[in-house]
Amino acid sequence: MSEIRILPLGAGQDVGRSCILITMGGKNIMLDCGLHMGFHDDRRFPDFSVICKDGPLTPYIHCVIISHFHLDHCGALPYMTEVVGYNGPLYMTYPTKAICPLLLEDFRKVTTDKTTQQGPYTTEDIKNCMKKVIPVSLGQTVKVDTDFEIKAYYAGHVLGAAMFHIRVGQQTLVYTGDFNTTADRHLGSAHIDRCRPDVLITESTYGSTVRDSRRARERDFMAKVVDCVRHGGKVLVPVFAVGRAQELCILLETYLERMNINVPIYFASGLSEKVNTYYSLFVSWTNEKIQSTFHQKNVFEFKHIKPWDRSYVEQPGAMIVFASPGMLHAGYSLHLFKKWAPDEKNMIIIPGYCVANTVGSKLLLGQRRFMFDGKEIEAKMQVHYMSFSAHADAKGITQLIRQCQPSNVVLVHGEDLVMDFLRGRVKDELKIPCFKPANGETIVIETPHGIPVDIEPALVQQLKEETIDVGRSAKRTKQMQGTLIIKDGRLRLVRPSTAMNQLGLVHHIVQFHSRFPTTANIRPIQLVSLVQLLERELNNSDNELKHRIILISDNLLHIDNKQLRVSIETNGDIDIAWTLNNEQLGQRVSSYIKSFIDQHTSTSNVITISDSAASPDPM
C-alpha cells in the first residue's frame, strides 16, 4: 500500500490562513498560502517552521498551487517566497494571476505602519513573487514533473477560482479551495468530472447549513435597504473588493433602476474600477447569461454606483455604501463603521462569513461596545446578517462529493463543530471515511497501489459486442480476456491476434470436441426440440448471461456467434465443438445433449461418449 500525508499549516478546524501541505508519490505540494484576518502579528501567517526551521523552503516543496485570489488563500505568498525563501513554481489561473497582486498591494498599504514603514512585505516582494507564477487554463493538464500533473476545474466562488486535480504516479487528489455549487448573478456553478480520487480535500465553511433560495434573500436584502434609506438612514455593506461586491452591485443597480428609487450609492474601495476591468477581460469565466449579452450590455459598468470620496462621510441624508474589507478588520469599512455606528437610523448588512476576532465577527455575536484608539464606541445602528456568501452549503458540499466519488474525504476551512456535523453526514449517508485534521496535525491515508494497463480499443469493442444482450449486473461481472504485453515500459492488454501479429507468431485455434455416437436418426423436428431445450436450460431466469442460439441448417446450430457449434454428422453422430475460452459452456451443452439423446434412444442402446482435442480445426 502507498500513502498520502496531509498536514494543515492553516485552515485545520479553522477558517482563514488556508495552507495545506500534502505529500504523495514522493512530492511535497503546498495548497494555498493565506493569511488569518483575525491576527495582526506573525500568527496571521502559516507556521513555515514546521517545514524547515531555518533557510529557504525551495528544497522541501516541489510546487505551490493557489486556488483563488482571496487573501485567506494567497495573502502570505509574497512573505513565503521573498522573506522565508521559495523559488519553485507557483500555479494559479489567469484571472487569479491578474487580480492577486492588486489585493496583495492593497493589503500591504493597509497593514504597513505609517511611521516605521514596516509591513509584512514590500511592493517589490509582490512583483518578484508574481514572476514565479505559471498560469493555467480550465481543463488544461499541466505536467509539473515526471509522472506529476495537475488539472484545473471551475469552482464558481469568485472570478478565476479553481479546484485542482493532482496526480502523482498512480495516486490522485482533488483540492476544492473555496467553491460554490449554486450559480448567482455573475458566476456559474462549480463542476468537476467523476474522477474518483484517492482523497478529496474540501472546504466546510457552511458544512452544517442549508441556505434558503437566492431570490428570497435578495428580496429581503432590498426590503431592508429601501426601508432604511426611506427613513434617512445610511446603509453600510462591508464586502471584499472582488466577488460579493460585484454580485450585490448588480442586484442593487437592477432593482433601483426598475423601482425608480433615487438614492446615492458609492463603492468605497480603490480597487473597484480596476477589478471591474478584469471582469470584462475575463468574461468567459462568468455565467452564461452575462456572456451571451455582454456585447449588448456590460453589467460591470455601473451607472448608478459612484466612487467614494472621503468628504462624503459627513454628508447628511440617506446613502448606500459598499466598503471593503468584508470582515471590518481594517480599511474603509471599519472607518465608516466607527463614524455611523452610534446613529440608530443607520444600518449595517454583513453579507458574508467573518473570521473569529474580527470586528464583523464580534458584531454578529452580539457585541455592541468597541474600543478604537482608546475611545469607546457603542453600536446603536441596526445590524443584519444576510448570507450572500459564495461558499457551498452542506447540500452543495455533499453534492460535489457524490459527483467526485472519492475514496476518502478530508475537511478543511471550517469550524470544529461544523466539521463534526459534516463528517457525520459523509460517513453515515455517503459511507466514505472522513477526516478533520487540526493545524499541525498530520494524517496518513493509505491508498491501493495500482498498476496501469492500457487496453486495446478493439478488445473493448469485442467485449461490448459479446454483452450486447446482457443485463447490467452481468456486464459488470463479465471477465475481459486478452494477452498482456509490455511495450516501451508500459503494460497493454490486447487481443491474442494482436499480440501474435506483434510477436510474429502463427495463429492456431485449439478446439475441444465431444462426439455422441447414436443409432437414432435425428430428424429436423427433433433438432428444433434440441434448440428449445438449450434455450430453456441456458437462458433460464437464474442466468444473468444470455446465450444466442441460432439454427443454421437441418444439421448445424451455433451458440454465441460460432463460439460453440453443434453439428449432426452424416452417420447420425452428434459433434459438439468449442474453444478453450468456452470450456464451461461446452461442458454444460454436452450434458444437455446427452440427456436429449437418452430421451430419443431406446434404453437398450448403449451410448458411448468420447472427448478429443483437435488442432487447428477452425470453427
> Which of the following is catalytic: 203, 273, 314, 376?
203
How many CA atoms, within 13 angstroms, populate the side-chain half-sphere of residue 22?
Answer: 27
Q: 394-404 and 416-429 helices cross at what angle (nearest 10)?
A: 50
CA distances from 301 to 71, 204, 266, 279 (A): 25, 34, 14, 10
3-state secondary structure 52-115: CCCCCCHHHCCEEECCCCCHHHHCCHHHHHHHHHCCCCEEEEHHHHHHHHHHHHHHHHHHCCCC
| Beta strands at 133-136 and 319-323: parallel, antiparallel or unpaired | unpaired
User: E strands along 107-204, which residues?
Assistant: 133-136, 141-145, 148-154, 162-168, 171-175, 199-203
Considering only CA atoms, which of 30, 64, 391 is closest in space to residue 203? 391
Give the integer Cα–Cα distance in Å for 180 and 93: 17
CB atoms within 10 A of CB 33: 29
Q: Is 576 helix (H, G, I), strand (E, B) or coil?
A: strand
Cell of 162: 479553481
Please name the residue that has the C-alpha cell 492488454. Answer: 493
Element (H, E) at 436: none
Cα angle 497, 502, 503 (rounded to 5 degrees) comes to: 95
Radius of gyration of the chain from its Cα atoms, rounded to whole angstroms? 35
Give the integer Cα–Cα distance in Å for 496 and 345: 84
Considering only CA atoms, which of 209, 280, 219, 224 is closest in space to residue 254? 219
Please confirm, yes or no, whether 203 is among the known catalytic residues: yes
CB atoms within 10 A of CB 288: 9
**In this structure, are residues 100 and 94 in contact, taking their beta carbons and an 8 Å threshold?**
no
Q: Is 180 helix (H, G, I), strand (E, B) or coil?
A: coil
End-to-end CA separation in angstroms for the chain: 46
Question: So which residues are the catalytic ones?
Answer: 203
